[in-house]
Amino acid sequence: MSTMTTTTLSSPTATSPSMKASSKSTIPPSVYTKSPYPSTLDPSTVHEKRAHDFSWSETDEPHATRRRLILAKYPQIEELFVKEPKTFFIVLGELIAQVAMAYALREADWWVIIVVAYCFGAVINHSLQLAAHELSHNLCWDSIVANKLTAIMCNFATGFPSAITFQRYHMDHHQYQGVDGVDTDIPTPWEAHYVTNLVAKVIWICLQPVAYSMRPIIVKPKPFIFWEAMNWTAQVIFDACIFYYFGAKSLSYLFMGTLLGIGLHPSAGHFIAEHYEFIKGQETYSYYGLWNYTNFNVGYHNEHHDFPRIPWSKLPDVKRIAPEFYDLPHYTSYLSVFWRFITDPEVGCWTRVKRKTTDSNLERLDRGTDKRSYAPYRIVCTFLMGCVFVFCIANILGADKLFANFMKSEL
């Protein structure tokens, strides 16, 4: 990897978390049309001295305010509030490609399966996860049911029933960005405390599938709903069919594609790039690079948060119509994001902006939380995640052959 130039910037003092939520809305500095830093600045090259603690903001999240400002100046933006049925056909093509590859690898050596899973399967499965992200905003079809069914289809090749649960938490992330105890995209204090050195950061990134799947059900478990049951039932049937007709290696390939694609993989750099505060005062960042072609333009992240009703295919038009609002530091490489996060001791899980909300909001949100220490959904998800890891490792170590030989001897 090439050596990067590091820019040192002064940063304001973080606000104490003991502050109270303001009852009066204030305009965040980051909604103004001109950034104090050049728009050509890559945030991954910036080095700022800071306390190893979350930044606390007394302002509202910036996107609602910027949305109002942009619509006031460019009302034609509303013409981009459309549905994008192309998402369905892309998902269908990716699903067919993954099933075909799983079939082709049914008798391959394990090293071949792992390499293909990282280089091909991870890219496709990550793309399918981000298609589910689009569908969580109901941006494919006019029918909410059709969007949910397509989201469930997105999960088939990934091996995991995550789409419906993701939607429930992702709406909180948009409406309550950074709100302590509500936005589960924010790492927990435990993560911030222990993930502090190079080795811990690498392990944490590799285990992102665990962090992103387990953090919501640990921090804010929600009751199991009908559509989640549909998601789980459909996924179990699909996985069982792959296992029965293709074998353990094919199913392991699909699992690996997801686990590797959400970990230390170039396509997964957006998990850190989107909201980690590499520059003090800017809590959301866009990425304008090649991975947008496979990631449903999730790199246009400022644009997406400003206008979550605009589908992936129209997000570049937002930047084209209102360029002065997006004259902000942005990324062009996810690898540089990983490198900065891993090697810079001033950056870690704590490099996120948190804020408070009103007591009435918290009380209302708490009504949808399963506060039991042993919430059934939490136990089931933890158990099944462990089973997937054991299944993959056991098959790599040859347990599938031992099981087959055992069955033959019994018969």
pLDDT of residue 238: 96
Greater model confidence, 289 or 403: 289
Task: Say if CB 147 and CB 133 are below 8 A apart.
Answer: no
Task: Say if CB 52 and CB 89 are below 8 A apart.
Answer: no
pLDDT of residue 379: 63
How far apart, in whole angstroms, are the C-alpha atoms of residue 39 and residue 28? 18
Inter-CA distances, 311 with 8, 68, 82, 264, 286, Å: 36, 19, 7, 27, 16
Tokens of 24: 């009066």
- pLDDT tens digit string along 331-343? 999 999 999 999 9
- pLDDT tens digit string along 177-215? 999 888 999 999 999 999 999 999 999 999 998 888 888
pLDDT tier for residue 10 given thresholds of 50, 70 and 90 = very low
pLDDT of 35 strictly over 60: no
